[in-house]
Amino acid sequence: MAEGRLLTPGVVPYGDAYALMHDLAEQRVRDEIPDTLVLLEHPPVYTAGRRTDPMHLGMVEQDAERMGAEVHHVDRGGSVTFHGPGQLVGYPIIRLGDGDVIRYLRDLEEVILRTTAAFGAACERSEVNTGVWSGRRKVCAIGVRTTRGVTLHGFALNCTTDLRWFEAIVPCGLPGYGVATLSELAGRPVTVEDALPVVAGEFEAVFGVRFRGQAAPSTASGENHPDGPLRTIPAHG
């Protein structure tokens, strides 16, 4: 089993995490680091992918400051979504040996499906839309990009997320569909702290990687980082 690296920086502003993931991807392209999974939370932020229709953003760009959120236009696929407190966001930075992006998306879904099942929540794939669902409500959004065979962006699992944030947009550009939280589906509170080690362990199992604790990259672990230094933790095996 290949060794990888797990980074858990806590709450990180989106702009900082965006720069970090791109820096890590460049390092992975050059084989300077192993496959890496970053698991974190963001302060409130709306991210608009390359397929975002302005109608899906609603008035978010005009109202973001009043709402206490940021808006970022990003280089992943998909449309607009929300990230914020109570949501576990994962950024896998891995080399796709076979370049099969569809299989990669299905593997990410499998990680989350196993995680939701571990908490007693029955979820499923959609035949037409990426992500993990409960009926017509999405509990985990997935949006990715690859560069020179290495993955960027990833998934966002609603654990205790305040779903009212999604009311300002058309989540993932899918009119008529809704969002859900793992806590709601499990019938009990499931926090980011609860879900993180389970997601990490299922990622190990699905992707065939064993996480080892390593020092965090200097680009995001300085003494002046607003949310403290990055840290690594062992995943459930």
Please list the active-site residues.
172
Residue 40 Cα distances to 14, 16, 199, 229, 230, angstroms: 10, 12, 12, 12, 10
Q: What is the distance between the alpha carbons of residues 25 and 94, in angstroms, rounded to a whole number?
A: 8
CA distance 142 to 2: 24
Axis-axis angle for helices 101-118, 192-207 (nearest 10): 130
In sequence order, what are the residues at sequence separation of 6 or more whose Cβ sits closer than 8 angstroms to the Cβ of residue 81?
Answer: 46, 47, 49, 141, 143, 156, 169, 171, 172
Q: Are strands 2-11 and 36-41 parallel, antiparallel or unpaired?
A: parallel
